[in-house]
C-alpha cells in the first residue's frame, strides 16, 4: 500500500459478497442450424438461448454492479445494524438508571424542597448573598443528574429511530445489489459452464476476488473513521458553545437568576451532547486508543464538571476551575479531530484510491477477456463476428465523494438551540506536526485494530 499498511491493516470481514464470475464453457449438445450464408453449422441447446440482447445485458449488468459496489451498502448496513442493537441495550440500561435517579431525587426532595426540576429550584433558592446549604446542593446535583439522564435517554431514543430508518434504506439498496448479483449469476449460467474459458480468465478472476476483498476491508475502515469524524465535528462545535456560554456567565448580574440559569443550562446541554458524540465516535472505533479525550477524560467532564454545573456557578473559584476543565476538553477534542483528519487523509484515502484503481484495472482486464471468450464462442457457434462493449462505460468515480456518501447524522446528538450559536465561540489553533500524535501511532493502531 502507498502508506505502508499491509492487507492485515483492516478487518478480514465485512467485504462485499463474492458472486460467481467464472464463465465456464459448457459441454455442448450438438444440433443443426443454418448460418447467414445458408451453411450448416454446429449449434447447442445453450446457443439457442443466447442472442445478442442477452450478451449486451450481461455487459450492462456488470456495469451496474461496478457502480453499486463503488459504494457498497452492505458494509454500512451491517455496521449500523450492530449500532442499532447497541443503542437498544443502552436505552434499556438508561431507563433503569433514570428510574433510580428519579427515586433518589424524590427522596431528597421530601427533606429539602418540593421542587422537581432544576430551573424552578435554582430560581427559588439561588440567592447569591446566602450560599446554598449542603442539603440544597445535594438536591440540586441530584435533580441535575436526573435531567442529564433524561436528556441522554431522549437522545438515544432519537438515535435509535433515525438509525432504524437508515437501516431500512440500506436494506433496500442491499436488496438491489443482491438482485443484480442473482441476475448476473443467471446469465453466466446460460452463457457458460463446465471449465474456465482460458487460463488468463481463471487467473484474472482470482486476482480480482482478492483485490475486492481487500477493498472491502478498507471501505469498512473508511466508513467507521468518517462516521466517527463527523460526530467529533459536532462535539467540537458544542464544546465551543459551552466554553463561550460559561465565559459569559460572570457578566450576567446575579439578580437575573432566570438568565443565569438559562446560560448555565445551555452550557450543560452542550457539554452533555459533546460527551455523547465523543463516546459515539469511540463506539465506532472501539479498539482504537484515542490519543486525546480518552474515556477517563470524558468521565471527568461528565462526573466532575457537567453534573455540578449549577453549584460551580455559585463561586468564582469553582467557576474558574470548571472553565479550565471545559477549555481543556475543547482543545483536546479539536486536537482529536485534527488527528482524525490526518489519519483519514494520509492513510485511508491513499489506500482507498490505490485499491480502487487496482480493482478498476483488474475488472477491465477480466471484462475484456470474457468479451473475447464470448466473441470466440459466438463465432464457433454461428460462424460470425460480433462486437461487444469491453469497457465499464462509466466515468471515473470521485473517490472522495464516494467515501463520504454513506456517512449520516443519524447517531449525532444535537442541541436544539446550541449548535448554531457558535459565532463568538473560539476555535483552538491547529497543532503542529510535532505536537500532534505521531503517524507511527496511527499506523500501528490501524494495523492492529481497525
Cell numbers for 331: 482543545
Statement: residue 334 has pLDDT above 50: yes
* Cβ burial, residue 349 (10 Å; 0-12/13-18/19+): buried
402/67 Cα distance (integer angstroms) = 11
- The larger pLDDT score, comparing residue 127 to residue 435, is at 435
Of the candidates 293, 336, 287, 297, the residue with the CA atom closest to the CA atom of residue 437: 336
pLDDT value at residue 425: 67
- pTM score, whole prediction: 0.74
Q: What is the pLDDT of residues 44-53, one digit of tens each?
A: 444 445 677 7
**DSSP per-residue letters across 149-182:** HHHHHHHHHHHHHHHHHHHHHHHHHHHHHHHHHH
Position 143 pLDDT exceeds 80: yes
Distance of alpha carbon 53 from the chain centroid: 40
- What average pLDDT does range 260-287 have in this prediction? 91
Least confidently predicted of 105-109, 147-151, 193-197, 398-402? 193-197
Q: Where are the domains of the chain?
A: 52-449
The more confidently predicted of residues 190 and 127 is 190
> How far is the C-alpha of 150 from the C-alpha of 272, rounded, in Å?
11
Q: What is the pLDDT of residues 231-241, one digit of tens each?
A: 999 999 999 99
C-alpha dihedral sign at 274, 279, 280, 285: positive
- Predicted confidence (pLDDT) at residue 299 exceeds the cutoff of 50: yes
Which position has the higher pLDDT, 395 or 265?
Answer: 265
Residue 398, pLDDT score: 67
Q: Is the pLDDT of residue 177 over 60?
A: yes
Angle at 248 between CA 247 and CA 249, to 5 degrees: 95
- Provide CB contacts within 8 A for 401, sequence distance 6+: none
The per-residue DSSP string of 86-119 comes to HHHHHHHHHHHHHHHHHHHHHHHHHHH-S--SHH
| Contact present, 276 and 148 (Cβ < 8 Å) | no
C-alpha cell at 249: 456567565
Following DSSP, what letter does each residue of 19-83 receive, concatenated? -----EE-----EEEE-TTS-EEEE-HHHHH--HHHHHHHHHHHHHHHHHHTT-SHHHHHHHHHH
pLDDT for the residue 331: 95
Output the nine-digit C-alpha cell for 370. 470474457
Is residue 16 predicted with pLDDT exceeding 50?
Answer: no
Q: What is the mean pLDDT of residues 228-250?
A: 94
> Mean of the pLDDT values across residues 75-95?
86
Between these two residues, 420 and 385, which has the higher pLDDT value?
Answer: 385
Name the more confident of 205 and 133: 205
pLDDT of 324 strictly over 90: yes
Q: Which three cell numbers stand for residue 210?
A: 482478492
Range of weakest confidence among 27-31, 36-40, 77-81, 170-174: 27-31
Contact 377, 25 (CB under 8 A): yes
Greatest mean pLDDT among 107-116, 326-335, 421-430: 326-335
Element (H, E) at 353: helix 349-382
Residue 42 burial by CB count (10 A; 0-12/13-18/19+): exposed, middle or buried? Answer: middle
Give residue 340's pLDDT: 95
- pLDDT band for position 24 (cuts 50, 70, 90): very low
Residue-wise burial string across 194-219, b where 16 or more C-beta atoms lie within 10 A, e elsewhere: eebbbeebeebbeebeebbbbbbbbb
Amino acid at each position: 500500500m502507498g502508506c505502508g499498511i499491509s492487507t492485515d491493516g483492516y478487518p478480514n470481514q465485512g467485504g462485499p459478497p463474492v458472486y460467481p464470475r467464472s464463465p465456464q464453457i459448457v459441454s455442448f449438445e450438438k444440433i443443426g442450424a443454418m448460418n447467414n450464408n445458408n451453411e450448416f453449422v454446429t449449434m447447442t441447446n445453450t446457443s439457442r438461448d443466447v442472442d445478442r440482447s442477452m450478451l449486451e445485458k450481461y455487459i450492462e449488468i456488470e456495469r451496474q454492479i461496478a457502480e453499486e459496489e463503488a459504494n457498497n451498502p452492505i458494509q454500512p448496513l451491517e455496521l449500523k445494524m450492530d449500532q442499532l442493537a447497541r443503542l437498544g441495550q443502552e436505552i434499556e440500561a438508561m431507563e433503569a438508571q433514570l428510574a433510580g435517579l428519579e427515586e433518589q431525587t424524590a427522596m431528597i426532595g421530601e427533606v429539602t424542597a418540593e421542587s422537581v426540576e432544576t430551573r424552578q429550584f435554582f430560581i427559588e433558592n439561588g440567592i447569591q448573598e446566602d450560599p446554598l446549604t449542603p442539603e440544597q446542593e445535594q438536591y440540586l446535583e441530584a435533580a441535575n443528574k436526573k435531567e442529564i439522564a433524561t436528556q441522554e435517554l431522549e437522545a438515544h431514543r432519537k438515535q435509535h429511530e433515525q438509525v432504524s430508518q437508515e437501516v431500512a434504506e440500506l436494506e433496500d439498496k442491499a436488496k438491489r445489489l443482491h438482485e443484480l448479483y442473482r441476475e448476473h449469476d443467471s446469465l453466466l449460467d446460460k452463457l457458460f459452464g463446465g471449465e474456465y474459458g482460458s487460463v488468463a480468465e481463471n487467473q484474472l478472476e482470482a486476482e480480482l476476488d482478492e483485490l475486492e476483498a481487500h477493498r472491502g476491508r478498507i471501505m469498512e475502515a473508511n466508513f467507521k473513521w468518517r462516521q466517527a469524524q463527523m460526530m467529533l465535528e459536532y462535539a467540537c462545535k458544542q464544546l465551543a458553545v459551552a466554553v463561550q456560554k460559561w465565559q459569559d456567565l460572570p457578566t450576567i448580574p446575579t439578580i437575573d437568576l432566570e438568565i443565569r440559569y438559562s446560560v448555565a443550562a445551555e452550557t450543560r446541554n452542550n457539554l452533555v451532547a459533546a460527551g455523547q458524540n465523543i463516546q459515539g465516535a469511540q463506539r465506532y472505533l472501539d479498539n482504537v486508543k484515542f490519543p486525546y479525550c480518552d474515556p477517563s477524560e470524558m468521565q471527568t467532564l461528565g462526573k466532575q464538571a457537567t453534573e455540578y454545573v449549577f453549584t460551580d456557578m455559585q463561586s468564582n473559584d469553582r467557576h474558574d476551575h470548571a472553565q479550565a476543565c471545559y477549555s481543556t476538553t475543547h482543545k483536546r477534542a479539536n486536537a482529536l479531530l485534527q488527528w482524525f483528519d490526518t489519519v483519514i487523509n494520509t492513510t485511508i484515502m491513499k489506500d482507498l484510491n490505490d485499491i480502487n484503481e487496482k480493482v478498476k484495472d483488474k475488472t477491465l482486464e477480466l471484462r475484456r477477456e470474457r468479451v473475447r471468450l464470448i466473441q470466440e464462442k459466438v463465432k464457433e457457434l454461428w460462424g460470425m463476428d460480433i462486437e461487444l462493449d469491453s469497457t465499464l462505460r462509466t466515468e471515473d468515480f470521485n473517490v472522495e465523494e464516494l467515501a463520504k456518501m454513506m456517512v449520516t447524522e443519524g447517531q449525532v446528538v444535537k442541541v436544539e438551540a446550541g449548535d448554531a450559536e457558535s459565532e463568538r465561540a473560539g476555535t483552538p489553533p491547529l497543532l503542529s506536526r510535532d505536537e500532534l500524535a505521531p503517524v507511527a501511532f496511527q499506523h500501528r493502531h490501524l494495523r492492529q485494530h481497525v
